Structures are given as C-alpha cells and as structure tokens.
Amino acid sequence: MRIDRWCWICSAVLLAQIFSLSSLPFELREPFDKVFHVLAYASLTAMLWIATGGRRPVVLVVGVMAIGLADEVRQAFIPTRSAEYTDFLADALAAGVAGALLYWKQGARKPCAESSAPSRNAT
C-alpha cells in the first residue's frame, strides 16, 4: 500500500478517535489534557500533509484547526463535558506549528529554477 493511502487511513482513524474520546463522560487532568491535544492535532496535520503531498498547506492547516473547533463546539452539547477555548488553542497551535515546520522542511528540499540543473540550450 502506498504511503499516502496509508496516511489517509491513519488520519481517518485518528479523527474517529478524537471525536469518540471527546464523548467520554470524563476529562483528563491538566496539563495532560493539553499534551494529548497537541500530540493528536500535530499528528493529524503531519499525516494529512503526507497524504496530500504537502499541496495547499494553508487549506490543510486551517482545516485541521476547524476540526479542533468543531470538536470543542460539539463538546459544549455533551452534558458531562465542557468546551474549553484553551483546548482549541492547543489544537490550533499544534496544527499551525506542525504545518509551519513541514512547510519549511518541504521548501528546503524543493529545488528552485535558479538552482536546478542547467538547460541543454545554455552556451
């Protein structure tokens, strides 16, 4: 199986875990709650980055941030849970930092027109 397909599958599983675990009637104690938010959303960003080949990085990062927002809004409607803006900030920060690092790393290895091999027509 190709790595991009594997990352799509893993992203879907992680997304299902995020939404199912946030439905449980208890919350983790601080600061472990934020640590797990950061790990989950940074991982989701990285897997989706690999799955999409790094195309449209801004859309990808904003999409992961929107997933974090949707999760927190959904928790507001679960009687035993509460929505916290700090959880969303942890999600958004993780997605943004992971996306920025991946974008920086991708830019470092992509050749630009000036540094690529000389053309055959050059004299």
64-110, pLDDT tens digit by residue? 999 999 999 998 888 888 888 999 999 999 999 999 999 998 876 65
Does 117 have pLDDT greater than 60? no
pLDDT value of residue 9: 92
Count Cβ atoms below 10 Å from residue 46 Cβ, excluding itself. Answer: 20
In this prediction, residue 102 carries a pLDDT of: 94
Q: Are 61 and 9 in contact (CB under 8 A)?
A: no
Evaluate if residue 121 carries a pLDDT over 70: no
pTM of the complete model: 0.79
Q: 21, 48 in Cβ contact below 8 A?
A: no
Taking a C-beta distance cutoff of 8 angstroms, is the pair 37, 18 a contact?
Answer: no
Q: What is the pLDDT of residue 78?
A: 84
Is the pLDDT score of 115 beyond 60? no
State the pLDDT at residue 93.
Answer: 97
30-74 pLDDT, tens per residue?
677 889 999 999 999 999 999 999 889 999 999 999 999 999 999
Secondary structure (DSSP) of 39-91: HHHHHHHHHHHHHHTT-SHHHHHHHHHHHHHHHHHHHTTSTT----HHHHHHH
Report d(CA 84, CA 94) in Å as an integer: 16
Main-chain phi, psi angles of 80, to 5 degrees: -90, 5
